[in-house]
Structure 1
Amino acid sequence: MLKIAGLSLPLALATLTLSSLTMSTMAQANVDLKLGNTERVTQLFAYPNNCSVICFRNWTLEQTVEHYLTQSVKRDGYSTAKVKVKTTNNQLYASISGVPKGYDKPLTALLNAGDLAHQGASKLNADGKWSYSWYLFLPLGMALENRKSVELLHFPPDYSLTQAQDYLKSATTDRWATLLTANNIPADQTPGYQTIVDIAPIAAPATAGKDLEGVYGYFQDYQTTMVKQVSQNASGGALPMVAFGAPVRNWIKQQYGATVSVLGLAQISPSAGLNVPVLGSNHPSYIWYAADPANYNDDEAKADAAGLKVMGQDLSAACWQAGMGSKPGSDPAAQLKSCTQTWQVTQKEQTCEMFYTSVRKLTQEQAQAKCASAPVKSQLEQLKAPAPSMSAEAPPHI
Structure 2
Amino acid sequence: MYKPTRLSFTLAALMASAVVQADVEVPLGSTQRVTQLFAFPNNCNVICFRPWSLEQTAEHYLTQSLQRDGYSRAKVSVKTHDGQVAATFSGVPDSYGQPLTALLATADLAYQGASRLNSDGKWAYNWYLFLPLGMALENRKSIELLHFPPDYSLTQAQDYLESKTTDRWATLLTDNGIPATETPAYQTIIDIAPIAAPASAGADLQNVYSYFTDYQTRMVAELSLHSKGSLPMVAFGAPVRNWVKQQYGQTVGVLGLAQISPVTDKSVSVLGANHPSYIWYAADPATYDGNEQKADEVGLKVMGQDLSAACWQAGMGQKPASDPNVLLKACMNTWQVTRKEQTCELFYTSVREFSAEKANALCATPAIKAQLKQLRIPAPAPSASAPAL
The answer to whether TM tops 0.5 is yes
Which of 201, 225, 248 aligns to 1:208? It is 201
Rounded Cα–Cα distance in structure 2 between residues aligned with 1:52 and 1:339? 48
Of stretches 204-213 and 384-393 in structure 1, the one that deviates more from structure 2 is 384-393
Rounded Cα–Cα distance in structure 2 between residues aligned with 1:231 and 1:49? 28
Which portions of structure 1, spanning 4 or more consecutive aligned residues, are displaced by more than 6 angstroms?
none
Matched, 1:42 2:42: no
Contact 1:149 1:194 (C-alpha < 8 Å) held by counterparts: yes
Which of 101, 106, 116 aligns to 2:99? It is 106
Contact 1:302 1:388 (C-alpha < 8 Å) held by counterparts: no
Rounded Cα–Cα distance in structure 2 between residues aligned with 1:47 and 1:353? 43
Per the TM alignment, residue 273 of structure 1 is displaced from its structure 2 partner at its CA by 2.7
Per the TM alignment, residue 29 of structure 1 is displaced from its structure 2 partner at its CA by 4.1
- The 3 A distance-change label for structure 1 pair 389 and 33 is closer
Tell me, what secondary structure is at the counterpart of 2:49? coil
- Per-residue CA deviation, residues 195-245 of structure 1 (Å, 9 max, x unaligned), is 000000000001110111110000000000100110024x34100000000
- The 3 A distance-change label for structure 1 pair 214 and 21 is farther
| Matched residue type, 1:260 | V
Matched, 1:391 2:383: yes
Rounded Cα–Cα distance in structure 2 between residues aligned with 1:160 and 1:380? 36
Rounded Cα–Cα distance in structure 2 between residues aligned with 1:359 and 1:372? 18
Tell me, what secondary structure is at the counterpart of 2:320? coil
Per the TM alignment, residue 21 of structure 1 is displaced from its structure 2 partner at its CA by 9.8
Tell me what 1:238 maps to: 230
- Per-residue CA deviation, residues 321-371 of structure 1 (Å, 9 max, x unaligned), is 000000111000000000000000000011000100010010000100111
User: Gapped runs of 5+ residues in structure 2?
Assistant: 1-5
Tell me, what secondary structure is at the counterpart of 1:103? helix
Tell me what 1:369 maps to: 361
Rounded Cα–Cα distance in structure 1 between residues aligned with 2:22 and 2:142? 26
Per the TM alignment, residue 271 of structure 1 is displaced from its structure 2 partner at its CA by 1.1
Tell me what 1:94 maps to: 87
Tell me what 2:182 maps to: 189
Rounded Cα–Cα distance in structure 2 between residues aligned with 1:368 and 1:29? 55
Tell me what 2:263 maps to: 271
- The 3 A distance-change label for structure 1 pair 66 and 372 is same
Of stretches 31-40 and 384-393 in structure 1, the one that deviates more from structure 2 is 384-393
- The 3 A distance-change label for structure 1 pair 60 and 393 is same
Matched, 1:247 2:239: yes
Matched, 1:166 2:163: no
| Matched residue type, 1:182 | D
Matched, 1:69 2:62: yes
Rounded Cα–Cα distance in structure 2 between residues aligned with 1:21 and 1:338? 50
Which of 282, 293, 313 aligns to 1:290? It is 282
In the superposition, the TM-score normalised over structure 2's length comes to 0.95
Rounded Cα–Cα distance in structure 1 between residues aligned with 2:185 and 2:265? 24
Tell me what 2:221 maps to: 228
Rounded Cα–Cα distance in structure 2 between residues aligned with 1:385 and 1:239? 29
Contact 1:305 1:388 (C-alpha < 8 Å) held by counterparts: no
Rounded Cα–Cα distance in structure 1 between residues aligned with 2:297 and 2:19? 55
| Matched residue type, 2:237 | G
Tell me what 1:339 maps to: 331
Tell me, what secondary structure is at the counterpart of 1:180? helix
Rounded Cα–Cα distance in structure 2 between residues aligned with 1:180 and 1:373? 28
| Matched residue type, 1:91 | Q
Matched, 1:130 2:118: no
Tell me what 2:3 maps to: none
Rounded Cα–Cα distance in structure 1 between residues aligned with 2:356 and 2:156? 31
| Matched residue type, 2:112 | Q
- The 3 A distance-change label for structure 1 pair 21 and 51 is farther
Q: What value does the CA root-mean-square deviation take over the aligned residues?
A: 1.6
Matched, 1:151 2:144: yes
Rounded Cα–Cα distance in structure 2 between residues aligned with 1:128 and 1:87? 34
Matched, 1:57 2:54: no
- The 3 A distance-change label for structure 1 pair 374 and 25 is farther
Which of 312, 316, 323 aligns to 2:315? It is 323
| Matched residue type, 2:312 | W
Tell me, what secondary structure is at the counterpart of 2:334? helix
Percent of counterpart pairs with the same letter?
Answer: 70
| Matched residue type, 1:193 | Y
Rounded Cα–Cα distance in structure 1 between residues aligned with 2:376 and 2:259? 24
Tell me, what secondary structure is at the counterpart of 1:310? helix
User: Gapped runs of 5+ residues in structure 1?
Assistant: 1-9
Tell me what 2:76 maps to: 83
Matched, 1:358 2:350: yes
Rounded Cα–Cα distance in structure 2 between residues aligned with 1:40 and 1:211? 27
Tell me, what secondary structure is at the counterpart of 1:164? coil
Per the TM alignment, residue 296 of structure 1 is displaced from its structure 2 partner at its CA by 1.2
